[in-house]
């Protein structure tokens, strides 16, 4: 149960990481930058909370790996929405990343 709580904080922080990455990419006003900064702070705060339940090395690896995975999935979804074809090799490596993250969780 305790590890699941730590995983929740890591996954939630990684989803928020995806939010602030796109906030920085698309922000065009001071209010948008302020919102992005707020998301960034909450993202790091939830990541820090996960240290109570997971070893820091596992929490950090999951946070960075899942954040990258969510950003890549968002990029692929945006490309598909805009009619841009995506490379099969890119999808392969995204799922290879996910496989590695899931493998770490099992250890």
pLDDT one-digit tens code per residue, 9-68: 999 999 999 999 999 989 999 999 999 999 999 999 999 999 999 889 888 988 998 898
Q: Which of 39-43, 63-67, 82-86, 100-104 has the lowest mean pLDDT?
A: 100-104
Q: How much is the pTM?
A: 0.80
**Is the Cβ–Cβ distance between 59 and 51 less than 8 Å?**
yes
Domain layout of the chain by residue ranges: 2-105
> What does R_g of the chain's alpha carbons equal in angstroms?
15
CA-to-CA dists, residue 46 to 38, 50, 86, 97, angstroms? 12, 6, 32, 22
């Amino acid at each position: 149960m305790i590890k699941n709580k730590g995983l929740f904080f890591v996954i939630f922080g990684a989803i928020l990481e995806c939010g602030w990455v796109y906030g920085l990419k698309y922000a065009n006003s001071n209010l948008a930058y302020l919102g992005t900064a707020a998301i960034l702070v909450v993202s790091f705060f939830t990541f820090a909370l996960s240290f109570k339940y997971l070893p820091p090395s596992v929490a950090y690896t999951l946070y960075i790996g899942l954040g990258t995975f969510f950003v890549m999935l968002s990029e692929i979804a945006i490309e598909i929405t805009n009619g841009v074809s995506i490379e099969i090799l890119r999808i392969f490596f995204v799922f290879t990343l996910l496989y590695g993250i899931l493998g770490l969780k099992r250890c």
